[in-house]
Amino acid sequence: MFFDFYYFILVIIPMLIGIWAQNKVTSAYKRYSGIVCSNGYTGYRTARMILDKNGLQNVRIEKVKGNLTDHYDPHANVVRLSEGVYDSSSVAAIGVAAHECGHALQYATGYVPMKIRGTIIPVTNFGSRLAVPLILAGLLLSWYSLAYIGLIGYVLIALFQLVTLPVEFNASNRAVVTLSDMNITEAEQEGVKRVLNAAAMTYVAALISAVTQLLHMVTIIGRKNNRS
């Protein structure tokens, strides 16, 4: 009974939260993709104006394939906009474009959480790849110290998701402030907020999932250790 309840709390509930968050962002994006912004600016033009206004003429903008594949690449110094955002004049498109420009502004101004996230990404990727093999080896060999070392990978993932939250929320705040000076109506601004807030919930869900996965692994290792 205890195990089933614990599994429900640490696995099922986070999974349901993740599904809810993804449905929320999909629904918001679909709704506001059908509303054309009154200023007629495309995602590309919006991004170019924001970057140029902030002295970032050196940041390029590229179109990439896929749906919601938009991102800022600090190494290439380029904002990449998906096909549904680059050429679209929808409220959703300009919101997403402005958000990605917010990341470029963070990088240009030395926003501390952005620096921290960039620093821990390589360590997090390395740790996450080793986590499962180390934990499995530790459990199979009853070498629980090794399994607990593997947990460091899950700790790093949770830390990365924690640092990601302020980065994403700040980029969205920058987007909303910047768009308020670009001749869009209050209703359109509200639509942008709804799209970006929905997207932010996916990062909250990712943090919850990372923390609960860590706790789940701690529980499994602890029980196996106690039975030995």
Please identify every residue annotated as catalytic: 100
* Residues ≥6 apart with Cβ < 8 Å to 158: 207, 210, 211, 213, 214
Alpha helix (H) residue ranges in the chain: 2-7, 13-33, 43-53, 83-86, 91-109, 112-140, 144-179, 186-227
Instruction: Classify residue 143 by its DSSP letter.
Output: -
What's the order of all strands across the beta sheet hosting 78-82? 60-64, 78-82, 71-73
Identify residue 86 by its one-letter amino acid code.
Y
Nearest to 203 by CA among 7, 24, 47: 24
Give the integer Cα–Cα distance in Å for 228 and 91. 59
Query: Nearest CA to 95 among 12, 182, 212, 205?
Result: 182
List the one residue out of 94, 95, 64 whose CA is nearest residue 79.
64
